A and B are shown apart, each in its own frame.
Chain A
Amino acid sequence: MFWGTHDDIGRRVERLEIPFNDLGVDHYGISKPHVRQLLTALCWLYRHYFRVRVHGIEHVPRRGRGMLIGNHSGGLPLDGGMVIASAFLEMDPPRLVQGMVEKFFNRLPFASQWTSRTGQLTGLPEHAARLLEDDRLLMVFPEGAKGTAKLYPARNSLVEFGTGFVRLALKTRAPIVPFAFLGGGEAIPTVVNLYGLAKLLGTPYVPITPYLLPLPLPVRLDIHYGAPIWLQGTGNEDDEIIASHVAEVRRTIAALIARTQRMRRGWPELGRADLIRSVQDRPGPSTGEAEGRADQGGRP
């Protein structure tokens, strides 16, 4: 089936299980026409420009609350856009993934308008909790803006994770669906970030590529969803307990990254247990090194 025509997208937007009113707007301000236009653009990029491959989409809840937790890849939030497109195109019924947008975005003309009309709310704990209580599908990148600022050599590494998402998952009893996103670092190969210019523009950083502008190259992207993780607790646990849950999620994502890297290189797959073990064995916080170990361990 050919995906990406405006009519196809329109039909799928009509099937979104979102309580739109007669004006085509829901109580978060999500607007059908805006979602249709955004998804038309994203789906073209998804199918024809980046030719995204998705693995494990069956792990994403078909209904009800869920947290998609993954790694950032690429100097711009391509990853978020492609995750939104994957849940919209590959799920039946389609789902609208709602991300948490950096605060500076809401101050920018047009950006503010488009993010709010397409359900991408400012990254605040209040928003995340409300969306989950409302049985929406939430996307969180626990690396934050530091994750998209990764330079090309560190493109498949993980920087430090925030811990708020685990407390939120526990409080709202939401499953965590880990995912790995690969290829963003090749699509936008950041060689340096300009922080001085960024300060003037009101953004966290400005990525510079070998061809200067951070325009994405047509590189194939992969999204790999893992099995849901159900954490038990109230969200009021001590920091050590929360940190152990965060580490578990991080290890799972690192293993998914390593596994997807092998698939991209055409190598045979390792079992999930082997991969998690290989990631657990490594000493450093980054999966960049671990990824090498995992690859070496599984190299035929």
Chain B
Amino acid sequence: MKILIPGICGRIGQLVATELKAQGHEVWGIDRRTWLDPPEGIVVHHVDLRKRAAEDLFRRLRPEVVIHMATVSHLAAGSEEQRYRINLEGTRAVFDYCQAYGVAHAIFLGRHTYYGAAADAPLYHLENEPPRGLDSFPELADLVSADLYAGSALWRCPELVTTVLRMCYTLGPTGHGTLAGFLRGAYVPSVLGFDPLYQFMHERDVVAAICLAVSARLRGVYNVAGPQPVPLSLVVRQTGRTLVPLPEPLFAWALGRFGLPALPRGALGHLKFPVVIDSSAFCRATGFAPRIDEMRALQQFAAAFPIEKR
């Protein structure tokens, strides 16, 4: 199949493209970033998704499948306005092009943080739940909007098979993703008295899940998760880091100081309450089962990013 991947130069994008190429598909990418040494046969076009050059690519290449990975989830990346433009306007452009140029299958990669973290939320979220917690974490609004916009293609464009995948955190040796970034330093802050569950999957399993979604040509919204969730305290301990529990009133002040990562204030909820998803529908539809359990994912991350003991 002819597959176009907007956002191909991210870590997961590169791995997905390489895997799909190995499976015998024709793969192209769109990204403003650079992939230094792509495998032979994968062509990356350095254009802006929202500009005419991107639309020309859709017109010329006529891809059968589009895997939209060109969203920004790192909360420190760019201003709110930039993130909004990339995430929502970029997503709108991709689905407009898909509809205009006869794409058969569009896959949108969303995040499980769509569901939000709240004290009275169910532990396991199902796909039919609305987003919550945006009032306390407005930085997530553009990603949630992009997810909902992509999902609306299910009724707006019935001829286009649309898959929205809400992926849990990635954790593995590439150090890709929000959780890996949070765990990068020697000291990891937590809110004193809270120890939420964190759900993550190894990047190899992420790639396998996306490739399965391509081959199964799924229609609908699916949660995608790996092995069982683990409390933050154990995640930190197993990766050789030191947990720094801070009383809630001190938390916002201490972030970004003393070697602690900088986080938006709204992220506090995600350090108090879990966001865990039920991916049984995706597993049933595709036969997906994570191959790398939580211990191995933690060990591989810890080995790739060791903390030097003083």
Contacts and interface: CB of A to CB of B under 8 A. Distances in A.
Interface residues on B, range: 20 to 34
B120 A29 contact: no
Interface string B285-310: 00000000111000000000000000
Interface of B: 119-120, 122-124, 191-195, 197, 227-231, 234, 238, 248, 272-274, 293-295
Nearest to B247: A109
Nearest to A110: B193
A122 B294 contact: no
Given A21-B294, A27-B229, A109 B194 contact: yes
B97 to A, nearest CB: 38
A111 B193 CA distance: 7
A113 B195 CA distance: 6
Contact of B231 (A25, A107, A126, A127): A25
Given A106-B119, A124-B120, A26 B228 contact: yes
Given A23-B230, A23-B234, A29 B197 contact: yes
Nearest to A125: B122
A117 interface: yes
Contacts of A230: none
Contacts of A116: 195, 197, 274
Contacts of A126: 122, 124
Interface string A231-273: 0000000000000000000000000000000000000000000
B193 A112 contact: yes
A122 B192 CA distance: 20
A103 interface: yes
Interface string A85-121: 0000000000000000001001111111100110001
A109 B119 contact: no
A117 B295 CA distance: 19
Contacts of A112: 119, 193-194, 272-273
Given A23-B230, A23-B295, A25-B228, A127 B122 contact: yes
Contacts of A3: none
Interface residues of A, number: 26
Contacts of B273: 106, 112
The 5 A-B pairs at the shortest CB distance, nearest first, are namely A109-B193, A126-B122, A27-B228, A110-B193, A106-B119
Interface of A: 21-23, 25-29, 31, 103, 106-113, 116-117, 121-122, 124, 126-127, 130
A159 to B, nearest CB: 23
Contacts of A110: 193
A113 B194 contact: yes
A31 B228 CA distance: 13
A242 to B, nearest CB: 23
A29 B193 contact: no
A124 B195 contact: no
B274 A29 contact: yes
A109 B246 CA distance: 11
Contacts of B124: 126, 130
B231 A29 contact: yes
Contacts of A122: 119-120, 122-123
